Amino acid sequence: MDNPQVEYVQRFSIFPRFLHFLVIVSFLTLAVTGMALKFASERWAEFVADFFGSFEVLGALHRLMAIVTFTYFALTFVLMYQNWRKSGKSIVQFILYKDSMIPNLNDAKELIQTFKWFFGLGPQPQYGRWTYWEKFDFMAVFWGVAVIGTTGLCLWFPETFTIFIPGYWINIATIIHSDEALLASGFIFTIHFFNTHLRPEKFPMDPVIFTGTMPLEELRHERPREYAELVAAGKLDEIKVPPTPRWFFVVSHVFGFTALAIGLTLVVSIIYSMVFLYVK
């Protein structure tokens, strides 16, 4: 980046980057405010509640961010629609083709190849535009928002929901909401953070989701299949872009590191609490 000779390509347009920004802000807020309630007996939870004022503020923020979540959930469909129209494929082709967001047989192959590579039994797979773990992250958000979202609405409007469902379902909704959230936070703050940012190749963070651009070299190495396909289609020059302005690069890092720090702190707190809460 500092080197002006490095060539950059565009990976994410502004829209998905904006969506991811919404995800970061809402997810972190939801996780912090929600976990403070889940682990209410812990000192750090008390600290969080004191910091925001009271559990009611936590609740208000949680509900506000729920609205943001439903918003980005809906906007993702808009993004998908736009991508579908741009691709010129039929809806079935769009869903089933190799670089669709939906996991497919190729992802299974790459997963197996990856494990072989872990053990030195073969080369690293020729990853395309989306690796299987990236697809899992994406699908996990879908799964998560669907499950946490519906149970969350039950908890938000229990009086309305109990017109249709028995009261004890609210208890069930609580368990699902809370444990699914634990899974989601735990996953994002450990697996997603590692896969995307903390593994040695990317350490300490990969700013592409903020800047939208990545070095051409990185594309060639990390996603050789996509690179090859772009070269073959002669589209590589189309996605070449000038480097991100330095100020934006800095802002991205500051924001990114903040999010990372919050997420990691929270996950450490959760793990600590889980260990001591259940050991107790």
Partner 1 sequence: MLNVTEKQGWLKFLVIISVALLVNLAQNAAAMTDEDCLDCHTDPDLTVEVDGKTVQLTLDGDKFAGSVHADNGCVSCHEEADVEEAPHPYPMARVDCANCHDDIAEIFADSLHGQALENNDPYAPKCIDCHGKHDILSMQDKDSPTYVMNVPFTCGRCHQEGSPMTLTHDIGKHNILKNFSMSIHGEGLFRKGLTVTAVCSSCHTAHNVLPHTDPNSTISRLNVVKTCMKCHANIEDAHTKIVRGELWETEPHKVPACVECHGPHQARRVLYEDSLNDQFCLKCHGNPDLKKILANGEERILYVNVDDFEHSIHQEKRIACAKCHVNVDHQKNPVCQDSGPVDCSICHAQVVDLYDKSTHGMLVAKNDKNAPVCTECHGTHGVMSKSNFESPIFARNIPDLCGRCHREGEKAALRYTGKQHDIVKHYQMSIHGRGLSQSGLMVSATCTNCHTAHSMLPASNPESSVNRENIITACAQCHLGIAEKFSSSIHSPQVSKTDKKLPVCNDCHTSHTISRHDTAGFRGLILDECGTCHEHETDTYFETYHGKASMLSGGEKTAKCSDCHGAHDILPAYYSESRLNRRHVVETCKKCHPGSNRKFTGYLTHATHHDRDKYPYLFYTFWGMTGLLVGTFAFFGIHTLFWVPRSFRERFKKRREHSRQSILKKDE
77 lies in the binding site for partner 1 (CB under 8 A)? no
Judged by CB under 8 A, which of 82, 87, 90, 171 binds partner 1? 171
- Least spacing, CB of residue 46 vs partner 1, in Å: 6
CB–CB of 190/266 below 8 Å?
Answer: no
Judged by CB under 8 A, which of 87, 150, 160, 258 binds partner 1? 160
Residues 117-156 interacting with partner 1 (rule: CB under 8 A): 117-120, 124, 133, 155
Cα 65 from chain centre: 15
Cα 117 from chain centre: 25
Judged by CB under 8 A, which of 153, 183, 241, 260 binds partner 1? 183
Tokens 């050789």, residue? Answer: 224
240-241, strands of its sheet edge to edge: 213-215, 8-10, 240-241
260 lies in the binding site for partner 1 (CB under 8 A)? no
- Least spacing, CB of residue 104 vs partner 1, in Å: 18
Judged by CB under 8 A, which of 23, 28, 31, 36 binds partner 1? 36
Sign of CA pseudo-dihedral 166, 168, 172, 173: positive
The span from the CA of 219 to the CA of 2, in Å, is: 18
CB–CB of 83/12 below 8 Å?
Answer: no
Contacting residues toward partner 1, per CB under 8 A: 36-38, 40-41, 45-46, 49-50, 53-59, 115, 117-120, 124, 133, 155, 158-160, 162-163, 165-168, 170-172, 174-176, 179-180, 182-183, 186-187, 190-191, 194-195, 199-201
